[in-house]
Amino acid sequence: MAGKMGDIERAIRKLEAAAVSIVAEAERREVLTDDGHVGVRGWVKASLRISDGEVLQRVRSARLCADQPDVLASMRTGRLGVAQLRDLARVYANPRCRRLFGDAAPTLVDVATGHTFEVFRRVLHEWEAVADADGAHCGHDRAHTSRSARGAVVGDGYYLDAHCGNAQGDTISEVWNHFA
């Protein structure tokens, strides 16, 4: 049974490679304008009638594979999983990561194909944090370092105003709910 599941999974991966290749080629050749579409996302959505989220993942994956042929080759052989491809494509879509991605791609693909998904995701997240040290993920750190709280008695009431990161806010909410 496990052998059949493996065969099916490899087939799915190869089909995804074919699908993203078609999207990449359509975008490269701008054939989508023949159908009156302004961009590749609209063309994919109209052609396949899939969700916006699926369109975004397919287009991101196509752009990654168009620029990184080794990633596409790993998909075509069935070595690289669809979920791993989509995670790589999400990181590649970040302009601050893209400039460093080419050098890291072979290692990231090796981790994706040679380790569990959880290990791959952790390594990718760590690489992303280094590659995008000043990027969007730093918002939590900024919220933590700029945290503040004020309290004041006003008339018969007590007013509390606080600003902190999500993790600290969760802890405060737990304590608050316990004593409220």
* Section 129-154 average pLDDT: 72
Is the pLDDT confidence value at 30 over 60? yes
- Distance between CA 25 and CA 13 in Å, rounded? 18
Q: Supply the pLDDT for residue 83.
A: 97
The pLDDT tens digits for 79-98 are 999 999 999 999 999 999 99
- Say if CB 113 and CB 80 are below 8 A apart: yes
More confident residue, 173 or 162: 162
Between helix 2-29 and helix 82-92 the angle, nearest 10°, is 30
Q: Given this model, what pLDDT does residue 174 score?
A: 67
Residue 1: band (very low, low, confident or very high) from pLDDT cuts 50, 70, 90: low
